[in-house]
Each structure stands twice: as C-alpha cells, then as structure tokens.
Amino acid sequence: ELQQKVEEAEVLKMELQMLETERVRLSLVEEKLLDVLQLLQQLRDLNISKRALGKILLSTLESCRDPQPGKAQLLEVLDTLQQELTACELLHRQPMEQAQSPRSLSNPLVISC
C-alpha cells in the first residue's frame, strides 16, 4: 500500500510538472500575441494598406511552411510575424513617439475591420 502511494505521488508530480510547463508555454504565446497585436495596432494607426498587410502575412506563412524541429509551430509563426511587422517600413518612417502613441480607444488592442 505504501508503494502504491509513492507511485501515485510520482504520477501526480509528473502531471504537475507537465501542467507547469504548459502554463509557461501558454504565457509565452500570450506575450508574443500581445506584441503582435500592438504592432498591428500601430500599423493600423499609420493607415497601412490591406495589400501591404496581406503581403506581410503571406510572407510570414510562407517562411513558416516547413516547421523547424523542436520548435512549437504556433510560437514560430508568432515570432516570424512579429519580426515581419517590426521590420515594416511604415513603423520606421514615423517618429517613434507618434508610432507608439496609443489611440483613445477603450482597449488599444481592439482592431476594427
């Protein structure tokens, strides 16, 4: 009976460790997603064309077509999209204060279509 309790405790420890790992992974995805949404908001404020935004998105998806081994595909796509958006010329043409100034929306991350 004692051996069974020890085994159950080990199983619970492993499950807890897996849950913690998943929590950390989801936290990283959430942070990356917020960064991407903020960049999209800045580009929207600068009136980027739908065509230019579409090109950025297609470029991102094309570069992530073959997932790299050992890297989560969702995080890879978000990383690449963030890099593509950060490299967008429009963000660098404007003074940084203007490009980063939030609009007076109730939620600055809401993107209207």
- Whether the CB-CB separation of 75 and 28 falls below 8 Å is answered with yes
Give dist(CA 50, CA 60) in Å, integer.
15
pLDDT of residue 69: 65
Contacts of 105-108 with CB under 8 Å at 24 or more apart are 108/38, 108/41
Token representation of residue 17: 């460790």
pLDDT of residue 70: 60
Token representation of residue 56: 């950025």
Task: Provide the residue ranges of all domains of the chain, joining segments of one domain with +.
Answer: 1-64
Token representation of residue 111: 């993107």
pLDDT of residue 92: 72
pLDDT of residue 38: 93
Give dist(CA 88, CA 55) in Å, integer.
11
Sign of the alpha-carbon torsion through 83, 85, 89, 94: negative
Per-residue pLDDT of the chain (113 residues; tens, 9 = 90+): 899 999 999 999 999 999 999 999 999 999 999 999 999 998 888 888 889 888 998 988 888 887 666 667 888 888 999 998 888 877 776 554 444 444 444 445 544 44
